[in-house]
Amino acid sequence: MRLFKTAVAAALCLSTACADAAGLRLIKVRSDGGPPMQIAVWSPCAAPAGEFQLKTSTLPGTADCPVIGDKLPLVLISHGFRGSFTGHHDTAETLADAGFVVVAVNHPVDTGAGDMSRADTLAVLVERSADIKRAIDYMLDAWPDRTKLDPGKIGFFGFSRGGYTGLVIAGANPDIRKATAFCDVPYRKPSCEELQRNELPAQAVVHDPRVKAMVIADPAFGPLFDRDALKDVTIPTQLWASELSGEDRITEINPGYVTEINQALPIKTDYHVVPNAGHFVFLAPCSATLAAKLPNVCTDRPGFDRVAFHKELNADILAFFRKQLDVHQP
């Protein structure tokens, strides 16, 4: 994997709509019969950098800043188990500062900011992709600045369960019955009982051909995908794996799963293995307050610099989406 070069910092500002700070707004997207879905929208903004105050934290960003630019590319972000739209805010800010509109969703079924009662059920495997489609529908059909978007340039970034979500959105058809692979543990999740009773979700997984390129990191639920399940995933894909995620004792995650996905995909991916890294390195660097509250998530292996890594990660993601979505620099 390439080492981060100082020149990347300057390159991050080259785009069709370079901005001084990312605009940020929170929106509730309604659904048919279900709870509203919280999304965060970052966008190119000409205002000076500001701070966006949340209930328990502060993010860089300018609230409700007018969107600048036209024919802007759109990127969706999908979090992992118990995550939220804040988990990859630095990636969203990087893309928005470079002229992208970025939407991070709070998946109602398993966001840590909501009701987690169904987070370990089979519903996760079908509802998450539907959430992404709903967010895209909203942005293209109802978002007040929808005329500034280019509907032909849509990308996706997903981490952990979000990586699983990306594969499904891109055309994968997981074999949900194979989720029994995660049941041979002392704590049996509700999904294991559903499988034992043969109570599979009635809802089908959702694909969305409007997504033209994706970046996925440590995708979860690898055993649900074999070569046949992945045969229709043909969009350009950048795939990231953490070398030491197997040591993190997360049932759904294993570097071997990512290797097998990479080998089974019908397309050649832009594949990166991050050395000396655990699963959570893909989350934004933690503040001191968050590090004290969640040391397991925020503490990396000795010698690993998450801040430096994220500069490289975000630069690579930006370059990938620029190339694959045909976003030209001035």
CA 18/CA 43 separation, integer angstroms: 11
Question: 59, 14, 20: which is closest to 41 by C-alpha?
Answer: 59
| pLDDT value of residue 10 | 30
- Name the phi and psi angles at 73, rounded to 5: -70, 155
- Name the phi and psi angles at 288, rounded to 5: -60, -40
Q: Which amino acid is at 220?
A: A
Read off the tokens for 91.
């990636």
| pLDDT value of residue 6 | 27
295 burial via Cβ count (<10 Å: 0-12, 13-18, 19+): exposed
Segment 237-250, tens digit of pLDDT: 999 999 999 999 99
| pLDDT value of residue 322 | 98
Q: Are strands 270-274 and 237-242 parallel, antiparallel or unpaired?
A: parallel
Query: Which DSSP helix (H) or strand (E) runs through 11?
Result: helix 7-11
211 to 78, 155, 276: CA distances (angstroms): 13, 5, 32
| pLDDT value of residue 20 | 47
Question: 86, 159, 161: which is closest to 126 by C-alpha?
Answer: 161
Helix, strand, coil percentages, rounded to 5, for the chain: 35, 20, 45
32 burial via Cβ count (<10 Å: 0-12, 13-18, 19+): exposed
CA 149/CA 224 separation, integer angstroms: 34
Segment 191-206, tens digit of pLDDT: 999 999 999 999 999 9
24 to 89, 97, 167: CA distances (angstroms): 10, 11, 27
Segment 91-100, tens digit of pLDDT: 999 999 999 9
pLDDT at residue 4 is higher than 80: no
pTM of the model as a whole: 0.92
CA 45/CA 41 separation, integer angstroms: 12
Segment 201-220, tens digit of pLDDT: 999 999 999 999 999 999 99
pLDDT at residue 138 is higher than 90: yes
Question: 285, 309, 307: which is closest to 297 by C-alpha?
Answer: 285
| pLDDT value of residue 11 | 32
CA 154/CA 137 separation, integer angstroms: 12
Which range among 12-21, 111-120, 222-231 shows the weakest confidence by mean pLDDT? 12-21
Q: Is 178 left (phi over 0), alpha (psi -120 to 50) or beta?
A: alpha
pLDDT at residue 254 is higher than 70: yes
CA 234/CA 34 separation, integer angstroms: 32
| pLDDT value of residue 87 | 96
